Amino acid sequence: TSGLPDYTRSEGFAQHAQDDPRGFVSPDGILDWVRADPLVFAPDSRYEYSNTDNIVVGLIAEVAAGKPYPTLLADMVFGPAKLTQTSFPTTRISLPAPFIHGYIPGAKPQDVTTYLSPSGAWASGAIVSTPRDLGAFIRGDLGRLFFGAAQQREQLRFVAGSSSPPGPGTNAAGLALFRYRTRCGTVYGHTGNFPGYVQFAAATADGTR
């Protein structure tokens, strides 16, 4: 609801992906791609998914906690949820074996597994994980493993809006969490994409499934 333009739609991001896709870019460098752009809409007037929001929130978390964002992830998320096969790479391009290759479809599918540096995603999704760890994370998120009831009440205040890419059923947006009302029931989670990959993680309201 910030109105910040999505950096993944910027000319700077497109140019970086074309000229130096495997090159490192800092969070401040990411924000530079949209720093001079006007807001897309007035804050709190509506909802639109923006990867820029996640970068800003990551930087705010660093200042508030006085710790680097990777340390916060390790201490507050990876450790408590026992995510032993999850990492937050920013300079490493290769993936730990074994891994699923990512492709761009076409007459001759193109392997883009290591095409783009994860630094360009940073707090907006530079996570390498496994299906087992991803399930453990989303169950922990709904099960209040990472924060208490008061924080969850704020997280579960939903407004009209879809995740990116949209998830199943009717989408609504909360704080870093989406509600998906489907014909099979209501679940809470998040989608995500990176060149060659699309992810979806969801759990029941209490995190038990």
- Cα 188 from Cα 183, distance rounded (Å): 14
- Cα 58 from Cα 75, distance rounded (Å): 15
Q: What is the token pair recorded at 38?
A: 């006007």
The predicted structure's pLDDT at residue 180: 98
Burial class (CB in 10 A: 0-12, 13-18, 19+), 111: exposed
The predicted structure's pLDDT at residue 25: 97
Question: Model confidence over 12-37: pLDDT tens digits?
Answer: 999 999 999 999 999 999 999 999 99
Residue 55 is which amino acid?
Answer: I
Question: Model confidence over 76-106: pLDDT tens digits?
Answer: 999 999 999 999 998 899 999 999 999 999 9
- Cα 30 from Cα 12, distance rounded (Å): 9
Question: Model confidence over 114-168: pLDDT tens digits?
Answer: 999 999 999 999 999 999 999 999 999 999 999 999 999 999 999 999 999 999 9
Whose CA is closest to 156, among 184, 176, 139?
Answer: 176
The predicted structure's pLDDT at residue 87: 96
CA 117 to chain centre: 15
Question: Model confidence over 173-198: pLDDT tens digits?
Answer: 999 999 999 999 999 999 999 999 99
Q: What is the token pair recorded at 62?
A: 């660093």
Report the chain's terminal Cα–Cα distance, integer Å: 29
pTM here is 0.93
The predicted structure's pLDDT at residue 139: 96
The predicted structure's pLDDT at residue 37: 97
DSSP state of 75: I
CA 17 to chain centre: 19
The predicted structure's pLDDT at residue 61: 97
Q: Where in 25-71 does DSSP place strands (E)?
A: none
The predicted structure's pLDDT at residue 190: 97
Q: Using an 8 Å Cβ cutoff, are 86 and 37 in contact?
A: no
DSSP state of 4: P
The predicted structure's pLDDT at residue 41: 97
Q: Using an 8 Å Cβ cutoff, are 137 and 146 in contact?
A: no
- What number is the average pLDDT over the span 65-70? 97
- Cα 18 from Cα 31, distance rounded (Å): 18
